Structure 1
Amino acid sequence: MTSAPVIAVFRPDDDRLRDAVALLESLECEAVADAMLAVEPTDEHPRTDAEFTVLTSKTGVELVDESDWVPTGELCAIGSSTAEAFREHGYGVDRVPETYSSAGLVEELRDAVEGVRVEIARSDHGSDVLLEGLNDIGAYVHETVLYRLVRPAEAGESCERAARGDLDGALFSSSLTVEHFVGAAADRGIREAAIAGLDDAVVGAIGRPTADRAADLGIEVDVVPDTADFETLAREVVTRIRERE
């Protein structure tokens, strides 16, 4: 391979997508920016009587910060980016699980939440693992859906590039980005061709749940980083691509 690797990225069309493109360009790659997620706020607010409040994304932190919400109890964040968003908006973070996942947070709270109220504020596509896990260890759990994640109508350039065999890599940052990629390809009548096109690319998934969902949909994943972090994912995929040269 003599030209710059061409890598598709599917993050929401905001700073996350722009930062992802900048990262790939700094690694001397060509980014195909194809946002597979758009945020639709629900205007719901988290409860304010919980002993533990859990937010699972930077988007969630930004939405509640724009409201009149006043957090109560210990603030918990899944992942470093969510924790950093809390701090950027002036909130302290009390707990971040060692493993950045719903299961990791359940383990973090295992000895702390029996018989107490836990508020979970997140998207409409949150994992049941968190709700069921906290209920199983005795917490009184309430969930607030802060926003819905939908597929933008214009999404799909990456599907067409994959179907033509024009992608060297793809960076799936959630299970939903995988589902929306496949859905966008199906809407264009190129589902099988797009998935086949990824067979010749290096496909990265940010964590095991994302990789498992990709496998369910017929997409073979080559890279799952030990740390569920987008920059780590991107760097490992680029390294794998260059190892193939």
Structure 2
Amino acid sequence: MKKVYGSAKEALDGLLHDGMLIAAGGFGLCGIPELLIDAIVASKVKDLTVASNNAGIDDFGLGKLLATRQIRKMMSSYVGENAEFMRQYLSNELEIEFNPQGTLAERMRAGGAGIAGFYTRTGYGTQVGEGKEVKEFDGDHYILERGIVADLAIVKAWKADTTGNCIFRKTARNFNPPAAMCGKVCVMEVEEIVEPGELDPDNIHLPGIYVHRLIQGEHEKRIEQRTLRQREEA
């Protein structure tokens, strides 16, 4: 099965349609599938629901899809770094389903593992738990959260072999693996593609069975917030 494609546009060919649910990996601006996001922007597909930890910043990452009004709903845990995200939400132009960060990651992982739902104490007694089934276990209350199964997962890894076995670096491991798992189809962009056998099996973070299409590309790697210490006087 051929998994390596020449570009993001080619890798997404035949997969995009209006109204679909996309799971996107990344944490802040770390490990985001920026090339695939740009290709989705260019496709002009609309009315998207996107499950992602956040929506990037105003001019980068998923923020580009917000700027073009291609996203109808976000399933997220954090919106603080994107002014347009906040503006659309407060103006009732964007639907948001807030999720505690760990709950969102587990919803993705559960969907990828074939688990329809799970009970968690997180969110009980808050707005997060409103309207959800509640059960008591050992004297504590838990709410039912549903697993996420996305039409498409877009993720970024550091290195992969041609079969899709891949390695993520540092913070990029937070949401990319569960996002990849929960997609009916997973498209992954990487910095380097190698031949099978070149990656240490003990270092594989996600097996290639979850990855359907691969691209290699150059990435910008922006710094979300640059903080510098004042230079000390000599």
Under a length normalisation based on structure 2, what TM-score does the superposition of the two structures give? 0.32
Under a length normalisation based on structure 1, what TM-score does the superposition of the two structures give? 0.31
User: Which of the pair has the greater relative contact order for Cα pairs under 8 Å at 6+ separation?
Assistant: 2
Greater strand fraction, Structure 1 or Structure 2 = 2
Greater helix fraction, Structure 1 or Structure 2 = 1
